Structure 1
Amino acid sequence: MRTRPFAAVVAAGALLAGCTTAQAPAGPTSSGVEVVEAAAPAVDPTVLPAAEGPDVAMRLADDLPPPTNRWFSGLVFGDESQPVFPLPLAVDVTASGFAYGLPDVRADGTLVAGPFVPQVAVDLREPVTGQVSGYDAATVSVDLVAGDGTVLGELRLTRGSPVLHYTASRDQDVRLSQTFAAAGDLPDDVAAADVDGRRHVLVGSDGLDVTAALAGDGGTISLSAGDAVSWLVEPDTEDGDTEDGDAGTTALADLVEAVRDPVVASQADYATGDGQVTTAVRYETAGGGDAVLVRFPHQAEAADEAACGLGTYATVLGTAELCLGDEIAWHSPARQPVLGLDLSGLSTEQRDELADQVRADVEAALAETRPADTYFGGKALARDANLWMLALDLGLEDEAASLHDSVVADLRTWAEPDGCTTRPERCFTWDPTLRTVVGQAVSFGSDEGNDHHFHYGYFLYAAGVLAADDAALAEEVAPVIDLLAADVAAAAEVDAGDGAPMPALRVLDVVMGHSWASGPSPFADGNNQESASEAVAAWHGLALWADASGDDALSQQARWMLSLEADSARAYWTDFDRDDPVAEGLEASVTSLVWDGKRERATWFSAEQSAALGILVLPVTGVSTYLGDDPDRVRANLAEALGTDDLWSEADTWDVMFGDQLLMYAGLLGPQDAEAALEVARDLPDERVDDGSTRSWLLAWLMTRAAA
């Protein structure tokens, strides 16, 4: 198995991600999404100078794109494999096999934790190394390789399924850490074990009688080459107990029959519309039957025909509902890119005030040298692109022209394909090891693949703004800007010459509806993402750039990604369901750092409560209105971040980290609160204005909200 290109069509906006070992049928999914193959973007990474890649161990088949920024990256990178979380299960490759468990999810204070704890270990009785041999939208295959290079078996993980699958590559006796035996209420060829008060069921595929293959003590199973077994962990029922009674037995028996037909591949598709986007993940089984799947909270607006209500599992993201079907599909509210702010409702006095501030901010921008790294450098370009739009809209022709020349000059510098041959910064290189584009100088581990969508989203946004009405500029910077877009969001694998291709959709986890920020993910809690708002901003920038460069297919894809990420950002970072049983005991209104194995109100850079919310707001643009869909939650989040329910009694309340971002967030509460925020914003200390924004943008945003 290996990755297969994503596909896109302008009319339906469909994407496809599948596996070459199991070709999906063409035509619409059960949710009506058309599946159409797409070409790779017309980019050439080798136009950039090659850089020496990181010295990193990779447990990966030679022809596969290195899977940085994936939920399973910890299996591939680093000296030792890390646990990963297909969810609802957690899995680890051990020194002699593998182990899995169903995390015991608990909330306490500012943390929801569901760490990997092994409940069933599978011992192949000799040292092995796990090597990822294939992956697609929702499945990962791991070869368990002995010291002599022999593959003992293949472990298959399925994102969004409580089933783990193993196929023996040669005859072997496998030792189990739990005793499995026949159960009277299940078919005779199926075995079960009670583990921590919950049944784990062992099922054979292709007619394999598991009970006959088990040794007398139930702790060893004899497998011949080609034999396949799966483990299923039973769900909770509606009352919170595990399955029991006649109804529970019937439901579990139905699940067992589905488990006999294992998932072998998956694909992801989408469709865009004026009011909503639809995302569909199809799961292909060996025999074409239904799969055992779960529906996560962000997928609640169902668009498929899966039979659900079969039980639940607690995950750190919330309660997941168990389903039988070949697809999980869901709707998300459509979000459209927004170019600038609408100043038409401002009074003459407001325009005059704003013009004075724009003049001051333009003067300051022209007096500074923008940062040289990709994160802060990109933020500065996007910041000044916004400032340029304000100057234009206010009729400040001289200021607009001067700032435009400055920003475009810097953008052109960054967009020189061979820039890194003559200078050590403000340029990009091609990393042939990780198959990724790396900006020089690096920041926040960007040379390891970290945060590329955060960084490059700012460049895409700036280029989209500046080239919106300048086709010549778009054509000039396209060779590099298109590479930045492809690096984080290519619709299909990109051939880069010798070696594996650049991956499709490098950072986006389609099943979970959001991106991952760590490149190698060297963590026991899986991958993580902090600034969900910067991920949203990345796809906003992608959409603006696609529009400016005339790429209609990318424009549809970007709108889907923007809508999908915004919906998940609210579902798990800012507006999650506090009444979900999983959240019982959680005392935080936001969880600013989301992992597969935990969620927490914390940041990588500050212990201040305002930081935990501010990092989920910045950068504020015209599309940031998605954050205000629930005004009551906006007010609650602000009260937590600021330590008071009385937001406007003291101006000093806002003299905190990200004070300007929180004021703009408060502007989403309505005109009255926006007016109150505007009064505070005028005198907010300069150091509280984020380096990716200006006081001009702060005032303009709040003025437009107050006039709404």
Structure 2
Amino acid sequence: MSSDTDRPGRAGSLPPHRTVYSPHVLVFGVVVALLGTVLAVFTPHTASAATVGRGSYTTQPPGPLPSGCADLSTNPRHWVTANAPSGAVPTNDWWSSILWKRTDCAYGEPLFAQPLGFRARSGGLGFSYSTTPAISGGAKGVGEYHFNYTEDFVAGVAGLGAPEVKVDDWSDWTVSPVLSDGTHTLRATIGSGLPFAYFRATGGDAQIKVASGATATVWSRSGAMLGYTVAGHDYVAFAPSGATWSVDGSGTTFTSSLAGKDYFSVAVLPTTPSTSAADRDALADEYAKYAYDHVTGTTVSYTYDEASSTVTTKYGFTTTALEGTGRATVAALMPHQWRNLAGGSPLPQEYVSSRGPLKVLTGTTSFTTSMVFHGVLPEVPAVADSSGADATTLQNYLDAEKADPARQQSDDTYWTGKGLGRAARLAEIADQTGNTDVRDAALAAIKSKLTDWFTASQNETGHLFYYDDKWGTLIGYPASYGSDQELNDHHFHYGYYIAAAATLAKFDPAWASSSQYGGMVDLLIRDADNYDRADKRFPYLRDFDVYSGHDWASGHGSFAAGNNQESSSEGMNFDNALIQWGIATGDRAVRDAGIYMYTTQAAAVQDYWFDTKDEIYPSGFPHKEVGMVWGNGGAYSTWFSGAPEQIQGINLLPVTGGHLYLGDDPAYVKANYQEMLDQSGRTRPAIWTDIWYEYLALGDGDAALADFRADNGFTSEEGESKAHTFHWIRNLAALGTVDTSVTADSPLAAVFVKSGRRTYVAANVTADDTSVHFSDGTTVPVPAGRTVASGAQNWSGGTATGGTRPSPSPTGSDSTSPSPSPSDSPSPSDSPSPSPSPSDTAGSSPTLYLRTDGTLAGTPGGDGSVTVPSAGGTNHDGTPYQPVTMTGKGLNLKYDGAATTFDLSVDAKQAVGNGVQLRVSYDCTGDGSWDRVETYRYFATDPITGWEHYADNQGLLSSQGTMCTSLTGGTVRAEVWNAIGDNPGTLGTGSLSVLRLPFA
């Protein structure tokens, strides 16, 4: 059975690219029979294992590889030119089908870039600006809308007859397809949010040929500029200065010799049939200012400001001026971008798109968005579970899970992940409520399963990961739902593994260390969404579309409707997993990457999956939610079921403390819940009842609890348990709904409100006491390892203290600090990532970076390392011996009453018995005398190559003097030396090692 690419998302058409919930889908067995298999066929073999700490992966394929036309399985660069970037090829993108061909082996499928759609042709590149949606289905049942590819014209080269399309270049949201027949060549650059397409043409005249059966009206023909209308859409073509356009007798073919040059561009204008000719001409003139500044690259960068809980994202354009000296361009912003735009004034005109109205910025080289991150929790707090009948009920539910906390349905990567997620929820709840037996059983199950999967050297026929250096991917076997042959759903599957590992790390930090299994977790993170641009073994943010603001699930995207994603909530589960893992292990780069994707995708989900503001879906589409988002639309359907509970519910699971965003709009929650009931014709959900009650609790906890008490005989969804369902609903009924008007200076925090009274919740998974500050002035002290609720509800519980405080965020664009790095290739790279350096002075920054030039500065500069001399076999504990010294001068700061903190990247390579130590000295006025000297306990480094984190949680060994009340032209010095050991060590510099002064 082949997929129905003309009607994507139709119930029953099943490219194995999303989860099939076999207990509920009667057609599953039929589908498997027709497809041959949904799960990957596993071939026994002897694995060749490469080690990562105690973990390992195989470098020999144990099962099916990515498949497609020609020799793609072993040569993913078959349709990539020699000019294209080196490293792993991107997959899971809006343009993937022209690189990874599966259906059309010559030209791929339509590409939907918003506002334009494109399709490669023998004679050039086809254009579509679709403004009229095709809507199917009625008010009930399966329905969908698509702005289908409808060709207006083909831009190409006269005489071009290219047998195929190749990819010549790509950047964060652009691609450059190239068509050539050996004599004629057309190279284009197209991108998301670009109203322009840019061309280089050789071997003949530039040609624009109107689609067969269509007519064109030329409304402007002024030298190098040609304005024309096709199917009600206004376009402008720009040839080089001095060139002209000719129009054939039929008025359907336009050509230009380009005045002997090789470039031209075509733009679509944001006009409507009611736009006046004068306004249209004015728009054409405005666009003409940027027609020769060809976009040649795009880059996203982001920062997370902990104090304000704000994610700032910069979208930058690289342009090449083919005429003049211009650098600016035109950008069409998607709703999740323009709603959060920080600066800039869009034009009044808008583009129509499948993502709703696109607003236009002209004359821009970049634009920036600012979004509030509302926080996540390891789990909702047990404010209502401490005593009484409900407490007994919960403990009975927990005790029933002790024998098999993971309880998985199948043995592949997806169902193993679901089981791990189930066990993680049970571990968190059991820890909160003091049920150590169930907690330890759940943690043991997680540890056993993860260790098994992360140790390929012990597994020859299953439960292992394989790294393919040609595709640049890590595939788990047995695979499922196309995660091997189509590279589908890696973020869905691996998010569960990473989230469970984060829970385990809080109780067993040794297991999560780079010397044991932390490196394998990092490889899973990098495979699905590599956060380190310097690491070329995996594509940068594989699954995450930085411009669209959300993931794409299909590796190849070979569908007539473009790429697609069904379970946005499982994508958010991956993002939350990165936040939890990054905090639990002290890996700031992972934490911040998770926060960036989580915050951005939460905004995209509210618009494109839920349309909570009722501004995205076309009029006439009757639903409040789509089960699937496609490149050109959305569908009230799934790959696996036509039941409303599952069509809408697939964007709700798994329900975790990282999914509080689902409750940002309580009124929408209740309306969406009601639509599910209306669509199903029931008064209560009959499928995934627990998921729906948990969702309803985010909008109305009391109603959800009443429903649960009246109806709790349901079978739990495969990743759920009665214990978690009851815990979630019972406590949200006490807490109320999410209050997004208040933020916190900690990622692990949330605010709830009920009857006008707020409860402030914060979790601390580190070994140090802390305080969390909320934006309304509330401060909540949070002891080490505890979750605290304060306000309308008061409670404290939990014992997890395995975490390490993340190092402070560097000033700059991209969060790319490397995590601890195993030694075996392809393990996470030891090579540091470049860091921005707008200033090299300490000045008034309390955050100082240890730099290779011997300075402490407020910006990291370039990352690198310095050698820390050997202790010479003599004990120098507490006394600097041949120290590496870094000094910051001219500091002007006021003491804030806190303590010095630091996070240094150190590595003794394979040396045994080394211990590195730090002393920090303060000179309040820079007069040359040290007023305060702090010496910290040394850190025993391990004999495994890879960065370790030496942090202030080692404890203070000694101190002399009184801390300055202020630094006035002050000086701070950091001395690092080996207190013990016979061998030299290495100290990371730049963003790898940071010192935070207790000053503001």
TM exceeding 0.5: yes
Contact 1:107 1:585 in 2 (8 A): no
Give, as a single letter, the amino acid of the residue that structure 2 aligns with 1:557: A
SS in 2 for 1:635: helix
Query: What pairs up with 1:365-404 in 2 under 5 angstroms?
Result: 365=405, 371-404=410-443
Is the counterpart of residue 320 in structure 1 residue 379 in structure 2? no
Contact 1:493 1:502 in 2 (8 A): no
Tell me the equivalent position of 1:49: 59
CA distance, structure 2, for counterparts of residue 597 and residue 680 of structure 1: 42
* Range that drifts further, 110-119 or 330-339: 330-339
Contact 1:170 1:225 in 2 (8 A): no
Tell me the equivalent position of 1:618: 653
SS in 2 for 1:445: coil
CA distance, structure 2, for counterparts of residue 696 and residue 390 of structure 1: 8
Say which of 348, 370, 373 aligns to 1:331.
370
Give, as a single letter, the amino acid of the residue that structure 1 aligns with 2:577: G
SS in 2 for 1:259: coil
Unmatched segments (≥5 aa) in structure 2: 1-50, 70-77, 736-1000
* Range that drifts further, 337-346 or 156-165: 337-346
Aligned Cα root-mean-square deviation (Å) = 2.6
1:43 shift after superposition:
8.1
Tell me the equivalent position of 2:598: 562
Is the counterpart of residue 276 in structure 1 residue 276 in structure 2? no
Residue-by-residue CA offset, 1:176-226 (whole Å, 9 max, x unaligned): 237889745x75321122211232111124x25243x66786533334775
Say which of 482, 500, 524 aligns to 2:522.
482
Give, as a single letter, the amino acid of the residue that structure 2 aligns with 1:177: V
Contact 2:239 2:258 in 1 (8 A): no
Tell me the equivalent position of 1:167: 200
CA distance, structure 2, for counterparts of residue 152 and residue 656 of structure 1: 58
Q: Which has the higher contact order (CA 8 A, sep 6+)?
A: 1
CA distance, structure 1, for counterparts of residue 651 and residue 417 of structure 2: 18
Tell me the equivalent position of 2:961: none
Contact 1:112 1:599 in 2 (8 A): yes
Query: What pairs up with 1:648-659 in 2 under 5 angstroms?
Result: 653-659=683-689
Say which of 339, 348, 356 aligns to 1:301.
339
Structure richer in strand, relative to its length: 2
CA distance, structure 2, for counterparts of residue 511 and residue 43 of structure 1: 34
Tell me the equivalent position of 2:381: 342
CA distance, structure 1, for counterparts of residue 660 and residue 313 of structure 2: 22
Tell me the equivalent position of 1:583: 618
Residue-by-residue CA offset, 1:261-306 (whole Å, 9 max, x unaligned): 2212111111223333222211222234321111211113343443
1:224/1:692 Cα in 2 relative to 1: closer, same or farther (>3 Å)?
farther
1:242 shift after superposition:
5.2
Is the counterpart of residue 311 in structure 1 residue 331 in structure 2? no
SS in 1 for 2:659: helix
CA distance, structure 1, for counterparts of residue 355 and residue 188 of structure 2: 25
Is the counterpart of residue 68 in structure 1 residue 91 in structure 2? yes
Residue-by-residue CA offset, 1:431-462 (whole Å, 9 max, x unaligned): 23422111100101000210000000000000
Contact 2:386 2:433 in 1 (8 A): no
Contact 1:463 1:474 in 2 (8 A): yes
Identity of aligned residues (%): 25
SS in 2 for 1:263: strand
Matched pairs, number: 643
Tell me the equivalent position of 1:136: 171
1:394/1:68 Cα in 2 relative to 1: closer, same or farther (>3 Å)?
same
Contact 1:143 1:151 in 2 (8 A): no
Tell me the equivalent position of 1:461: 499
1:615 shift after superposition:
0.4
Is the counterpart of residue 473 in structure 1 residue 529 in structure 2? no
1:111 shift after superposition:
2.0
Tell me the equivalent position of 1:156: 189
Contact 2:670 2:696 in 1 (8 A): yes
CA distance, structure 2, for counterparts of residue 87 and residue 93 of structure 1: 16
Unmatched segments (≥5 aa) in structure 1: 1-41, 647-651
What TM-score do the two structures reach when normalised by structure 2? 0.61
Tell me the equivalent position of 2:400: 360
1:345/1:175 Cα in 2 relative to 1: closer, same or farther (>3 Å)?
closer
Give, as a single letter, the amino acid of the residue that structure 2 aligns with 1:56: G
SS in 2 for 1:616: coil
Tell me the equivalent position of 1:233: 268
CA distance, structure 2, for counterparts of residue 347 and residue 645 of structure 1: 37
Give, as a single letter, the amino acid of the residue that structure 1 aligns with 2:318: E
1:568 shift after superposition:
0.7
Residue-by-residue CA offset, 1:364-411 (whole Å, 9 max, x unaligned): 437x57732111101101111111222222222223223322221111
Contact 1:332 1:563 in 2 (8 A): yes
CA distance, structure 1, for counterparts of residue 184 and residue 57 of structure 2: 38
Contact 1:53 1:433 in 2 (8 A): no
Give, as a single letter, the amino acid of the residue that structure 2 aligns with 1:86: A
Contact 1:259 1:292 in 2 (8 A): no
Is the counterpart of residue 102 in structure 1 residue 114 in structure 2? no
1:562 shift after superposition:
1.1
